[in-house]
Amino acid sequence: MTDPSLSNPPRIPPELSAEVRRLMHDLSNALEIVLQAGYLLTTADTEGPVKEWICLLDGGAQQALKIHQQLREYIRMHS
């Protein structure tokens, strides 16, 4: 049996939805900078701890991107 709340999710009020979408857009721009800088750092000739820090930075940025995508999908489904 299908959960009825999944077929008719609660709606986000339009004014709240617009503000959250604006914030998501700004977050997307900031994430793009971090992701691009992280990518460029991975192409640098580094060794030791610096290389590990770059990998940590890239992993955190990738995780933030996944969370951003999940939030965007949630907002889309509830707006």
The helix/strand/coil state of 43 is coil
What's the structural domain count of the chain? Answer: 1
- What residues make up the domain containing 66? 12-78
Nearest to residue 66, comparing CAs of 39, 31, 22, 26?
A: 31
d(CA 79, CA 73): 10
Decide if 33 is inside a domain: yes
Decide if 16 is inside a domain: yes
Q: pLDDT 10s per residue in the chain (79 long)?
A: 555 556 777 898 989 989 999 999 999 999 999 999 988 998 999 889 999 999 999 999 999 999 999 999 999 899 8
Phi/psi of residue 2, nearest 5 degrees: -85, 140
Q: Is the pTM of this model over 0.85?
A: no
Report the pLDDT value the prediction gives residue 5, as an integer from 0 to 100.
55
Give alpha helix (H) positions in 1-79.
Answer: 4-7, 14-42, 48-78
Decide if 2 is inside a domain: no
Decide if 6 is inside a domain: no
Decide if 68 is inside a domain: yes
